[in-house]
Structures are given as structure tokens and as C-alpha cells.
Amino acid sequence: MSDTQYLAAKTIDEAVNAHEKANGTARFLAGGTDLLVQIKSGIRKPNLVIDIKKIVELNSINEISDGEFEIGASVSGANLNRNLKFAKLWPGVLEAFRLIGSEQIQGRASLGGNLCNGSPAGDSVPALIAAGCKAVIAGPKGRKDVPIENFHLGPGKTVLENGEMLVSLKFPKRVSNSADAYLRMTPRTEMDIAVVGCGVNISLENDICTNARVSLGAVAPTPLLIKEASDIMVGSKLDDDTLNRVSKMCMDACNPINDKRGTIDYRTKVAGVLFKRATKLATDRIGGNK
């Protein structure tokens, strides 16, 4: 860690230029709850750490229009948790994000960091995918939006190239009668990493599903969007038969690791169960029961 330099960037351009110039040896620092642990343990040895928290846009929660949020990449869990409107519109995203670590971690950890860390088990990621969220990326060639389901390439690998920085997470405008939910399975109730995570986001009109997105975490090298799930769910009343079919689809999509925290069979089975429970929870939320 001794050769590391520190830069507190004040603008996006400054951060992006410094990152590009460092040619692969720089890391962006948001909350630091992953990066500092990685540096201390020698997993990462960046020559330059670029602190992005002092860039206003990265640390802001913006409601661009009524019900349309853009969350800066370094906004902490504690900060986002205080936005009552966001909590009402995206309870699943918030509960997923808030599951990460202790209150101490929540005081620093960011949605952007959870995404860029690239873990297949990052709790907020399936919820962001289910939400239909986009990553706003700034780089030497300007800005672009990437759907979250395309952001990860493998464990620890993302689409971000040299000089590219995650600026914010752009949520679609929330329509009425919609809700999301995130559930995860962990061996312990708290302070643990997902063995399986499932995010579900649905809209209903007269009990008929008009929009559905389902995502799974920790069951493949990257978090997954279960694309075909929406084909079956939209137009249905989310009856048992529909849920059973999608549950099977979730299990078929699993390609998990086998480790002491969960076997392949166990992770696969739990993915199907969590899908049904998360869908029930989201439905209850639309009904105002949760």
C-alpha cells in the first residue's frame, strides 16, 4: 500500500482524466468498504486512489421528474435510507442495499461501489437489475448508459474500461401499482454474503401483471436477468401455475459454485423458492400490505 497516491477529484473530468492517465493502475474510491479491505489484504495494489465522494453529482440523490430517480454512484446506504420517497417507490432496492454490512458499513458503502466491485453475490445488484436500472458511465469518449444486467462480465469484471467511471444509477420513472422486493438466503441472519439473492419488480393493473422483471444473484458468475420470466408473467394473474413455471425457469438458469456455504443443488432449489416469495412480497406491497 506504500506506493499508493491519493487524489480527491473535484469534477468528473478530473477523475476520468486521472484514471485514464494511470493506465489501469488507478482505482476509484467511493465508500471504501471493499477497496480498503482489498488494499490492506494485498488483493489490489493501485498506484492511485481517486476519491470521488467530493464530486457533487456522484454524491447526490436527484428526483429528475416526479417518481424518476437518479442516484449518484457514491451515495451511502445511510443517506439513501433517509429519502422517504425513494423508499416508498423502490422498497426492494433499498432493502437489498441495506442488507449489506453493518450500520458502520452503511455509513460509507455505496450502490455504485457494490456494482463496480463486481461480486456475483452483491446484494443490491439483482434488485437494480429487476428495477430496470441503468448505469451512467463517464469516460474519455463521453457518457453512455448501460443496463445493469449487461454491466458485469464475470466475477470482479465489469464493462468499465480504462478511464471510465460510474457516475450514477438511473431508475425508470415509477408507474403506479408497482413494487419490488429482494430476498436473499444466508446461513446467518445478518452480516453475511448471499448464497442466493432474488430481486423481483412487478406492475399490476386490475390484478393482471403488466410488467415483470426477475433477477438472481450468487447463482452464476454474474447476476442474472431472467429474461423469459416476463414473457410468462406479463398478462397473467401471477397464479400458482405461472409462479411454478417461472420458479422452474429460475432454477434452470442457475449455474452456481459449489462451496461450504451452499451446494449447487441447494442454491438452485433456493433460487426457485426465493423467486416465489419475493413475487408474493412485491404483490403484497402493491396491495399496501407490506
Partner 1 sequence: MAKIKVSTRINNENIDYLCEPNDTMLDVLRNQLNLTGSKESCGSGDCGSCSVILDGELICSCLMLAAEAEGSNIETIEGMSEGGKLHALQQKFLEKAALQCGICTPGFLMASKALLDHNPSPTETEVRYWLAGNLCRCTGYDKIVKAVLEVADEMKENA
**Residues of the shown chain interacting with partner 1 in the complex, contacts defined by CB under 8 A:** 1-2, 4-6, 8, 29, 31-33, 36-37, 39-41, 49, 51, 53, 76, 78-79, 101-105, 107-108, 190-191
Cell of 81: 435510507
Query: In this complex, which beta carbon is closest to partner 1, that of residue 176 or of residue 188?
Result: 188
CB of 112 to partner 1, least distance (A): 16
Please give the helix or strand (H or E) that residue 104 lies within, else none: helix 103-106
Q: To the nearest whole angstrom, how small is the minimum distance from the Cβ of residue 183 to partner 1?
A: 17
In angstroms, give the least distance from the CB of 264 to partner 1.
Answer: 28
CA distance 148 to 191: 25
Q: Where are the beta strands (DSSP E) in the chain?
A: 5-8, 26-29, 48-51, 61-65, 68-72, 134-139, 142-147, 152-154, 157-158, 165-170, 178-185, 196-205, 208-217, 224-225
Question: Which of residues 113 and 132 has its CB atom nearest to partner 1 in the complex?
Answer: 113
**Shortest Å distance, C-beta 29 to partner 1:** 7
Nearest distance from C-beta of residue 107 to partner 1, angstroms: 4
Compute the distance between CA of residue 87 and CA of residue 95 in angstroms, rounded to an integer.
9
CB of 198 to partner 1, least distance (A): 22
Query: CB-based contacts of 289: which residues, under 8 Å, 6+ apart?
Result: none
The rounded Cα 280 to chain-centroid distance in angstroms is: 21
Q: Nearer to partner 1 by C-beta: 39 or 185?
A: 39
The least CB distance from residue 108 to partner 1, in Å, is 5
CB of 82 to partner 1, least distance (A): 9
Q: How many CB atoms lie within 10 A of CB 273?
A: 16
Give the separation between CA 268 and CA 195, rounded to whole angstroms. 10
Closest to partner 1 by CB, 61 vs 159, is 61
What are the helix and strand counts (H, E) for the chain? 11, 14
Closest to partner 1 by CB, 41 vs 289, is 41
What is the rounded CA–CA span in Å between residue 220 and residue 37?
Answer: 24
In the bound state with partner 1, the residue whose beta carbon lies nearer, of 37 and 153, is: 37
| Closest of 46, 10, 2, 1 to residue 28, by C-alpha | 46
Measured from the CB atom, is 40 or 144 closer to partner 1? 40
Task: Kindly tell me which of 14 and 228 has the beta carbon lying closer to partner 1.
Answer: 14
**Phi and psi torsions of 232, nearest 5°:** -80, -35
